[in-house]
Every structure is written in C-alpha cells, then in structure tokens.
C-alpha cells in the first residue's frame, strides 16, 4: 500500500508541474489524467457526464474530482471520490464501496460512479430549479 501511495504521489507531483494538454488530458505509462468537459445540469435528474470503455481483462483505480457551481454563483459544492473497477471476462464491475474522500457541505448536489456493460461512468445530479455547471477531472491508474 505504501508503494502505491508513493507512486501516486510522485505521479501527481509530476502531473502538477506539467498540467493538462490543450486537448484536456495527459497520459503516462499507467496513469491517465483527463479533464471532463464542462457539463450543465438543469434539474435533479442523474446525468452521465463521462464514460470510459474498459478493455478485457483490466482493473483501474479511479479518482474523480468535481466542482459544481450554480449559474448565479450563489452555491458551490465539491466532491472527490475513488473506486476500484474491473473487467474480467464479462461486464465492468465496481469492486466494493465508492470511497468519499471529500464532500463540500451542502449536499444539494451529488456525484457518483456506475457501470453499464463494458463502460465505467461518472454521474452527477443537480437540484430542482438549479442550472449547475460541473467541472471535473478524471484520473485512472491501470492495475493490469
């Protein structure tokens, strides 16, 4: 576990000095950082904002950070969550629980993960009557 934490620290440190490429992502050998395009939600309906198809077999440690901002600027919420997801001879599967690393108080909005067939998904939910802009970053560490 300590080795994985150190590896992630050095990878994140390296990433922080380089930033995103103009097309919104950076790839190293086993690590992918990708900025998810801004998405606007207008109600309390769950919306898939990002999908990644998983090869078979594969296992990923996924970390997603999101900021949600109401259009008039009166409300902001933040989320950082992680999960292990794998695919081995069948559909994508979320292993265990989604880990909530950070949630900004407010709880009007939410961010979670899901799977559909071979795809891993990032999902967000706003609130009734709120136009919310979601800005998110996706990080995937391949464990293959």
pLDDT, one tens digit per residue, over 93-130 is: 999 999 999 987 677 899 999 999 999 999 999 999 99
Q: What is the pTM of this model?
A: 0.78
Question: Residue-wise over 39-61: b if at least 16 C-beta within 10 A, else e?
Answer: bebeeeeebebbebebeeebbbb
pLDDT, one tens digit per residue, over 3-23 is: 433 333 344 444 444 455 555
**Structural domains for the chain:** 2-142 (2.60.40)
């Amino acid at each position: 576990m300590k080795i994985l934490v150190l590896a992630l620290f050095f990878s994140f440190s390296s990433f922080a000095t380089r930033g995103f490429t103009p097309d919104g992502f950076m790839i190293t050998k086993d690590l992918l950082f990708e900025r998810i395009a801004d998405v606007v939600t207008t109600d309390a309906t769950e919306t898939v904002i990002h999908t990644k198809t998983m090869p078979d077999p594969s296992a990923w440690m996924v970390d997603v950070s999101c900021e949600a901002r109401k259009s008039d600027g009166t409300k902001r919420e933040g989320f950082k969550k992680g999960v292990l997801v794998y695919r081995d001879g069948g559909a994508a599967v979320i292993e265990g629980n989604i880990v909530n690393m950070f949630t900004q108080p407010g709880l009007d909005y939410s961010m979670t993960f899901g799977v559909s067939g071979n795809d891993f998904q990032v999902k967000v939910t706003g609130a009734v009557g709120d136009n919310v802009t979601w800005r998110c970053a996706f990080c995937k560490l391949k464990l293959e």
